[in-house]
Amino acid sequence: MSAKKKSPIKLQNKLTGGEALIKCLENHGVEYIFGFPGGVVIPIYDAIVNTKKIKSILVRHEQGATHMADGYARATGKPGVVLVTSGPGATNTVTGITNAMMDSIPMVVFTGQVTTPMLGKDAFQEADMFGCTLPFVKHSYLVKDANDIPRVVKEAFHICNTGRPGPVLVDLPKDTTSGICTANLDPNMDLPGYTVQTTINKTDVKNMAKMFKGSKKPLLLVGHGVVIAKADQEVKELAEKLQSPVVNTLLGKGGFPETHPLSLGMLGMHGTAYANKALVNCDLILSIGCRWDDRINGNNDEFCIGAKKLHIDIDPAEIGKVVKVDAAVVGDAKMVVKELIKHVKPLDTNAWKQECDFYKKEFPLHYSTDKGLPAQYIIDQIYKISKGKALVSTDVGQNQMWSSQFYKIDKRDTWYSSGGLGTMGVGLPAAIGMQFGRPNELVVAIVGDGGFQMTAQELTTAFIHKLPVKVFILDNKYLGMVRQWQELFFDNRLSGVDLTGNPDFVKLAEAYGVKGIRISSVKGAPEKIKAAFAHNGPVVVHCEVVKCGNVFPMIPAGKSAYHMIVEPPKTKIK
């Protein structure tokens, strides 16, 4: 490597906007910047040369940078940071930003922008990022003065990771980052419209507690808010005190141990049958940090008919948005649940627990290895061999739903899945981000052959940074989830789902310098999975699974849990 030369845009004893930015990021404890450069962000990349505290991770596509930042954020609780150039570099981040918005992920995305005199003139590589991301961000800035950089950075980090977290976009014209910044690097924030709720209304909590009186069939619904608020211990205490069964959402995995006797696992469209049976039979349901998404409710008119509905959420706009509730508390899940525990009394739920246990025995998750290698078997083995201790990221589709069914999560911040947006392509880059954040832990990505190919180039990032992520491609040679819908609801008229012609994923991995392993049958599979885990570096495990496996149970879209299909139907579903 050549010796570091002095920056040509450096003025004596004065910081450029870019340098001020990097100094501020250092002060905010940023470890990694996931990014990709271009003309207008060179002043920032120039400032990166001199930092010892921050590592710049050069991705291979800007979408990958956003998902890595997202994975890093979910594994560490710290904001993920992205830096890209203007125009195409910036627009490539829109999917990742939206994904972070839908799943309430703290992320700060710095996009380069053309110089301020050129704004609005269709300058080369100008894209109105402030404008085009407005619906997808928690907040955003267009910074036209270098002296505003420290304040904006401070506000961005504050906003993205307080209250209900979300992405913040900071658009930085080139003359802002190459200009001189003489401002205090730790200025006051100016956010008169943004207050973080630090107290809770105790009367609301007491009113909620009263609702539990006489309930014989309570159910706790654990959402992502529990994970974000780190309220897992409190929720466990509440469930155990009440002796209430617990279901969790896809993103609520980790909010309550799924191996706990009171856990019924994930509910919803592809949730466990017993979770959904409990849902339709409960007499009270308390959502903790879950926004009653339509993949859970299906049909609101038939949702938990007759049950009392209670809601704890930090976001007041979620109360009553989808489901009319009987009692609600606005606030941080940890604080609210802690207070709620004081006011509730143990309930007599023996009969209810027995009923739930009956559902568990009667409708277990299952699969058969009679007709080839099922994807579920691979996930089941990954779970068993990793002893449930891996950090897991999934892609989107069948692979995601099977992973959520068969990889039980007991600990917070060990699970990544794209819930709100359902973004194919997140699996690999998110796993890379998790591994950056938690370098000493086993990180497993479980992805489909379709989704993997949307961001596969990030294998290079894993290789270069020696990140030992284990990528399991469940190759069914179809866009499996769409094929399943076509089979079940469109008379099996398959259209646009055939992935015949996939590359040889083992060779592809090897071309990236990554170890490739192929699993084509049940026989020998566990040994190969063990070998993958034992390898000191990234591994791609190409799993040639049965082509037409379907995910069950399933609640057809727009229907309520009463319409759950537990077994493959013999006749056409109406």
Partner 1 sequence: MKTKDKSNIHTISFLVANKPGVLVRVALVFARRGYNIDSLVVSPSLNEKFSRMTITAQGDPEILDQIIKQASKLVDVICAGEHSEEDAVAREMMLVKVKYTSTSKAIILKQVKKYQTSIIDEDDNTIIISQIGTTDDLDEFEEILKKHVVIEMVRSGKLVMVKGQEST
Candidates 62-70, 72-80, 312-320, 374-382; binding stretch for partner 1 (CB under 8 A): 312-320
Candidates 65-73, 188-196, 268-276, 447-455; binding stretch for partner 1 (CB under 8 A): 188-196
Q: Is 398 in the site for ligand TPP (CB under 6 A)?
A: yes
> Bridge-partner residues for 393, per DSSP?
416, 445
Rounded CA separation 77/227 (Å): 10
Rounded CA separation 214/423 (Å): 42
Residues in 551-570 that interact with partner 1 by CB under 8 A: none
Long-range Cβ pairs for the range 399-402 (8 Å, 24+): 399/375, 399/427, 399/446, 399/447, 399/448, 399/451, 399/474, 399/480, 400/250, 400/446, 401/269, 401/270, 401/481, 401/551, 402/375, 402/376, 402/446, 402/474, 402/551
Candidates 3-11, 125-133, 416-424, 437-445; binding stretch for ligand TPP (CB under 6 A): 416-424
Candidates 78-86, 347-355, 359-367, 472-480; binding stretch for ligand TPP (CB under 6 A): 472-480
Q: Is 214 in the site for partner 1 (CB under 8 A)?
A: no
Q: Is 474 in the site for ligand TPP (CB under 6 A)?
A: yes
Q: What is the CA radius of gyration of the chain?
A: 25
Q: Is 94 in the site for ligand TPP (CB under 6 A)?
A: no
Both structure tokens of 197? 């709720």
Q: Is 135 in the site for partner 1 (CB under 8 A)?
A: yes
- Which position among 481, 484, 528, 564 bears the catalytic label? 481
Q: For helices 17-27 and 149-160, give the axis angle rounded to 10 degrees.
A: 30
Q: Tell me if 89 sits within 8 A of 38, measured CB to CB.
A: yes
Annotated catalytic residue 62: yes
Annotated catalytic residue 174: yes
Among residues 30, 41, 266, 396, the one that binds ligand TPP under rule CB under 6 A: 396
Tokens 């990889």: give the residue: 407
Residues in 149-168 that interact with partner 1 by CB under 8 A: 159
Q: Which is nearer to ligand TPP, 180 or 421 (CB)?
A: 421
Angle at 54 between CA 53 and CA 59, to 5 degrees: 160
Q: Which is nearer to partner 1, 192 or 496 (CB)?
A: 192
> Bridge-partner residues for 83, per DSSP?
35, 110
Burial track 115-153 (b if 16+ CB lie within 10 A, e otherwise):
ebeebeeeeebbbebbeebeebbbbbbbbeebbbbbbbb
Residue 439: count of CB within 10 angstroms of its CB: 12
Task: Indicate which of partner 1, ligand TPP, none lies near residue 321 (CB less than 5 to 8 Å, by partner kind).
Answer: partner 1
Q: Is 265 in the site for ligand TPP (CB under 6 A)?
A: no
Q: Which is nearer to partner 1, 94 or 481 (CB)?
A: 94
Q: Please state the closest distance from residue 120 (CB atom) to partner 1, in A.
A: 12
- Which position among 23, 138, 154, 174 bears the catalytic label? 174
Contacts of 488 (CB under 8 A, 6+ apart): 550, 554, 556, 569, 573
Q: Please state the closest distance from residue 190 (CB atom) to partner 1, in A.
A: 8
- Based on DSSP, count helices (H) and strands (E) in the chain, helices before strands: 23, 20
Burial track 404-420 (b if 16+ CB lie within 10 A, e otherwise):
bbbbbbbebbbbbbbbb
Task: Indicate which of partner 1, ligand TPP, none lies near residue 131 (CB less than 5 to 8 Å, by partner kind).
Answer: partner 1
Q: Which is nearer to ligand TPP, 86 or 476 (CB)?
A: 476
Q: Tell me if 267 sits within 8 A of 276, measured CB to CB.
A: yes
Q: Which is nearer to partner 1, 144 or 260 (CB)?
A: 144
Annotated catalytic residue 318: no
Instruction: Outline where DSSP puts E strands in 399-469.
Output: 415-416, 443-448
Both structure tokens of 461? 């990032």
Q: Is 525 in the site for ligand TPP (CB under 6 A)?
A: no
Per-residue contact string for residues 80-119; x = within reach of partner 1 by CB under 8 A = ----------------------------------------
Q: Is 49 in the site for partner 1 (CB under 8 A)?
A: no
Q: Please state the closest distance from residue 400 (CB atom) to ligand TPP, in A.
A: 7
Q: Is 397 in the site for ligand TPP (CB under 6 A)?
A: yes
Q: Which is nearer to partner 1, 191 or 522 (CB)?
A: 191
- The distance of Cα 340 from the centroid of its chain, to the nearest Å, equals 28
Q: Is 448 in the site for ligand TPP (CB under 6 A)?
A: yes
Both structure tokens of 58? 């050069």
- Which position among 19, 23, 36, 62 bears the catalytic label? 62
- 144 to each of 105, 154, 562, how far by Cα in Å? 26, 16, 55
- 7: which DSSP letter? P
Instruction: Outline where DSSP puts E strands in 352-399.
Output: 391-394
Q: Is 419 in the site for ligand TPP (CB under 6 A)?
A: no
Q: Which is nearer to partner 1, 193 or 306 (CB)?
A: 193
Among residues 8, 182, 192, 493, the one that binds partner 1 under rule CB under 8 A: 192
Task: Indicate which of partner 1, ligand TPP, none lies near residue 320 (CB less than 5 to 8 Å, by partner kind).
Answer: partner 1
Interface positions with ligand TPP (CB under 6 A): 395-399, 422-424, 448-451, 474, 476, 478-482
Would you name the residues annotated as active-site residues? 62, 124-125, 174, 481
Interface positions with partner 1 (CB under 8 A): 130-131, 134-135, 138-140, 142, 159, 191-194, 315-317, 320-321
